Amino acid sequence: DAGVIQSPRHEVTEMGQEVTLRCKPISGHNSLFWYRQTMMRGLELLIYFNNNVPIDDSGMPEDRFSAKMPNASFSTLKIQPSEPRDSAVYFCASSLLSRGLDRGRLGEQYFGPGTRLTVT
Amino acid sequence: EDQVTQSPEALRLQEGESSSLNCSYTVSGLRGLFWYRQDPGKGPEFLFTLYSAGEEKEKERLKATLTKKESFLHITAPKPEDSATYLCAVQAAGTYKYIFGTGTRLKVLA
């Protein structure tokens, strides 16, 4: 498996523009996570999907942020309009949430290479 | 409030000088504790999962241990290629997400 795939790897845009980040999780995984990483705040969870359904979006900073997962192999994170304070590295990660005896136990998360977003 | 604290923030070691990184946690029921390694410009890479106090996992020069309040990542005879940021994360009971610590930046000098 190629692992988690993210695109683009780098994005430079001007304030006010729309930005769309893309993620392809590992085949067979049923959970997908979007994170944001900055020097000041470290890794922050933005949103979590299970079986393509958003379960927890409490980390999404504002209404300018939205995320979708139309199928098991694709997710997007959109920022509209973008602002300079959105500059960060955005990671997508996927995992397999246990259903059996270990029900509810998150397995290890596998991270993509990240998208470095710069908003000027 | 669920919380994860890692120490030290940064650590410089000579090649071959063993040491330990600490991850202290306060959660309402631990479902799992995870260690990751992150190299500059890359995503975190999974190292270990620990579920119960007393559990230990090993991989090459790394050994992770877990108690009811903290986890240690022991590095034995480190090499320069072990230089990275090491992240700790926990899953609390009743949640489906990780809480990450801010990491320990390790530099191993040749």
- The mean pLDDT of B92-97, rounded to a whole number, is 80
pLDDT given for residue A96 in this prediction: 85
- The average pLDDT across B79-103 equals 91
pLDDT at B29: 86
DSSP 8-class letter at B28: S
What's the first-to-final CA gap in chain B, in angstroms?
41
* Torsion angle (degrees, nearest 10) of CA A12, A18, A19, A23: -160
What is the overall mean pLDDT for chain B?
A: 94
B43 vs A48, A105, A112: nearest CB: A112
**Does A108 reach chain B within 8 Å, measured CB to CB?**
yes
Nearest to B44 among A48, A56, A111 (CB): A111
Q: Min CA distance, B4 vs chain A (Å)?
A: 12
Q: Do residues B82 and B94 lie in contact, with contact meaning Cβ atoms separated by under 8 Å? A: no
Give how far Cα A90 sits from Cα of A27, A46, A85, B6, B54, Å.
Answer: 21, 10, 13, 22, 35
* Beta strands in B15-69, from DSSP E residues, in sequence order: 19-26, 30-38, 45-50, 56-59, 62-66
Tell me which chain B residues have a C-beta less than 8 angstroms from the C-beta of A48. 96-97
Residue from B86, B96, B99, B102 whose CB has the most chain A CBs within 10 Å, to mutate: B96
Q: What DSSP designation does B30 have?
A: E
Q: What pLDDT, in 10s, does the model give residues A80-116?
A: 999 999 999 999 999 887 665 456 666 789 999 999 9
Q: Which residue has the higher pLDDT, A90 or B99?
A: A90
Q: How far apart are CA B86 and CA B93, in angstroms?
A: 23
d(CA A9, CA A6): 7
Q: Using one digit for the tens of pLDDT, what is the confidence trace for A55-78?
A: 989 999 889 999 999 999 999 999
Separation between Cα atoms, residue B45 and residue A110, nearest integer Å: 7
What token pair was written down for A105?
Answer: 């136990």
Between chains, do B98 and A106 touch, taking CB under 8 Å as contact?
A: yes
More confident of the two residues A90 and A30: A90
Contact B98, B4 (CB under 8 A): no
C-alpha–C-alpha distance, residues B8 and A27, integer Å: 37
Mean pLDDT of the region A14-23: 98
